[in-house]
């Protein structure tokens, strides 16, 4: 009898714990929406990490602190399907993007142009070689994850909110007319965290979470000689603070949700770790950052489920996608760069293929914020290196000096992204004319912008 009683108590405790983890939202039922979502995550950590060289700040590592992961979010509005792929890697290089899109299209039927591939810009992960066993395995895993996500689509509504992080800082300081690497609290920064949650309406646990923040994931990188215990950088592979934050969010929901990280315009934004000029992080630092971002996300997720916030949610989320390949002026010739706009209901995602300085995001948002909720993403759909502002070239510094682009690239990028935004938002146009010649001229211009001709 005593054994039966103990088993009953354990069963009741487990039931209570599970209910606490994923409590049913009182009075809720399945989401009423045209939008369907499915999500999957997969471990992409290399099998062998013994004296493997990581990229970003190159160093050899032995062992793994925490796994690198990829996430795939598939969305379908009934007419258009898209996929958002996130990677705990240094960059979404064309060598990754092209085969990943092809594999995902093969597995799911989602058009390659409707697939966004974005990296966190993690400085403690491996480089990509398409011919290596890990490179081939990565592409295969992305296809399998997309197929899994597409196989479990469910109607969802979308919640949005913002919070802030406290660990990011500008790393440029102008002294006597020249820019140097230095932690600069007075420099431009964007500490906001933007969060999208996708809910099926059946519980308070989201189906998927998209978090967006602006900061280099370089906690575990080179330090300086005065900063023990890691003056040569952290000796293990890691997903850095985006990985820590994703795990924190998932833990808060009993690992019943999937969180994905999107990096913003972090070209000149890094962790605030003082040193000469800064130090490598330790365990206390990474927990601080991961839990700071994770807590901001969880606070936002919780608030967006209140009655007032739920009442603001739409029931109709049209998806629109537009891409263009622009030719940018480079220091050694023209450089092609893909730009993408993806609108999901009122939420507008704009991408750049490299490391845009923080001002890019602030400028674009200022131009678009009255028309949609903008989320500006760097390190996506390719990688052209640093995307510095025109003004930064006059004082130099690491970003413009190492950029492959000329200062004239900024207005081209901003103009083309604005045009892409116009196409997917659909609330402005340049001409009222319906004359056949004008219509043909506009169509021709659209084909050129889209890189179709």
> pLDDT tens-digit profile of 260-283?
999 999 999 999 999 888 899 999
In a domain, 6, yes or no: no
State pLDDT tens for residues 45-79: 999 999 999 998 899 999 999 999 999 999 999 99
22 — pLDDT class (breaks 50, 70, 90): very low
> Is residue 108 domain-shared with residue 250, that is, in the same domain?
yes
Average pLDDT over residues 151-177: 97
| Predicted local confidence at residue 15, as pLDDT | 43
Q: What is the pLDDT of residues 417-440, one digit of tens each?
A: 999 999 999 887 766 666 677 677
Helix (H, G, I), strand (E, B) or coil at 366: helix
At residue 74, φ and ψ (nearest 5 deg) are -105, 130
Question: Do the Cβ atoms of 340 and 350 come closer than 8 Å?
Answer: yes
Instruction: Confirm whether 174 is domain-assigned.
Output: yes
Same domain for 129 and 243, yes or no, is yes
Mean pLDDT across the stretch 103-130? 97
Contact residues for 220 (Cβ-Cβ < 8 A; gap 6+): 65, 123, 124, 230, 233, 234, 236, 238, 240, 280, 281, 286
- Domain boundary among the residues 246, 281, 311 is at 311
Confidence band for 108, pLDDT divided at 50, 70 and 90: very high
Token pair for 204: 């308070």
The number of distinct structural domains making up the chain is: 2
Of 6-15, 25-34, 369-378, the one with minimum mean pLDDT is: 6-15
- Is 7 contained in some domain? no
- Chain segment 358-404, per-residue pLDDT in tens: 999 999 999 999 999 999 999 999 999 999 999 999 999 999 999 99
The pTM (predicted TM-score) of the whole model is: 0.90
Range of the domain at 134: 36-311
Q: Are residues 272 and 202 in the same domain?
A: yes
3-state secondary structure of 78: coil
Residues 333, 262 share a domain: no
């Amino acid at each position: 009898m005593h054994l039966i009683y103990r088993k009953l108590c354990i069963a009741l405790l487990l039931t209570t714990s599970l209910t606490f983890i994923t409590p049913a939202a009182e009075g809720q039922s399945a989401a009423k929406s045209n939008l369907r979502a499915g999500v999957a995550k997969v471990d992409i950590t290399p099998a062998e990490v013994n004296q493997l060289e990581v990229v970003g700040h190159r160093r050899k590592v032995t062992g793994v602190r925490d796994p690198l992961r990829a996430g795939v979010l598939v969305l379908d509005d009934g007419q258009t399907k898209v996929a958002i792929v996130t990677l705990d890697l240094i960059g979404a290089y064309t060598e990754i993007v092209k085969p990943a899109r092809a594999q995902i299209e093969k597995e799911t039927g989602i058009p390659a142009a409707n697939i966004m591939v974005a990296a966190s810009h993690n400085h403690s992960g491996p480089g990509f070689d398409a011919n290596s066993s890990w490179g081939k395995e990565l592409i295969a895993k992305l296809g399998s994850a997309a197929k899994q996500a597409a196989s479990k689509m469910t109607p969802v509504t979308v919640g949005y909110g913002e919070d802030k992080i406290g660990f990011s800082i500008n790393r440029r300081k102008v002294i006597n007319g020249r820019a140097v690497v230095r932690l600069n609290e007075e420099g431009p920064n964007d500490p906001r965290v933007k969060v999208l949650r996708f809910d099926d309406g059946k519980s308070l646990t989201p189906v998927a979470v998209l978090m967006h923040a602006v900061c280099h994931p370089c906690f575990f990188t080179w330090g300086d000689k005065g900063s023990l215990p890691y003056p040569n950088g952290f000796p293990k592979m890691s997903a850095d603070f985006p990985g820590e934050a994703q795990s924190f969010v998932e833990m808060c929901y009993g690992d019943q949700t999937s969180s994905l990280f999107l990096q913003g315009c972090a070209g000149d934004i890094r962790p605030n770790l003082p040193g000469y000029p800064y130090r490598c992080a330790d365990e206390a630092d990474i927990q601080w950052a991961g839990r700071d971002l994770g807590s901001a996300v969880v606070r936002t997720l919780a608030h967006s489920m209140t009655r007032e916030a739920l009442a603001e949610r739409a029931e109709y989320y049209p998806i629109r996608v537009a891409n263009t390949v622009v030719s940018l002026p480079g220091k050694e010739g023209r450089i092609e760069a893909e730009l993408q706009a993806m609108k999901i209901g009122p939420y507008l995602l704009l991408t750049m293929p490299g490391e845009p300085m923080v001002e890019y995001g602030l400028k674009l948002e200022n131009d678009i914020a009255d028309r949609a909720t903008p989320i500006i993403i760097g390190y996506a759909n390719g990688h052209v290196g640093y995307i510095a502002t025109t003004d930064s070239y006059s004082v130099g510094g690491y970003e413009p000096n190492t950029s492959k682009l000329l200062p004239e690239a900024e207005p081209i990028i901003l103009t083309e992204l604005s045009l892409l935004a116009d196409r997917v938002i659909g609330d402005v146009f340049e001409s009222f004319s319906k004359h056949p010649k004008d219509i043909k001229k506009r169509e021709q211009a659209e084909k050129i912008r889209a890189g179709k001709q």
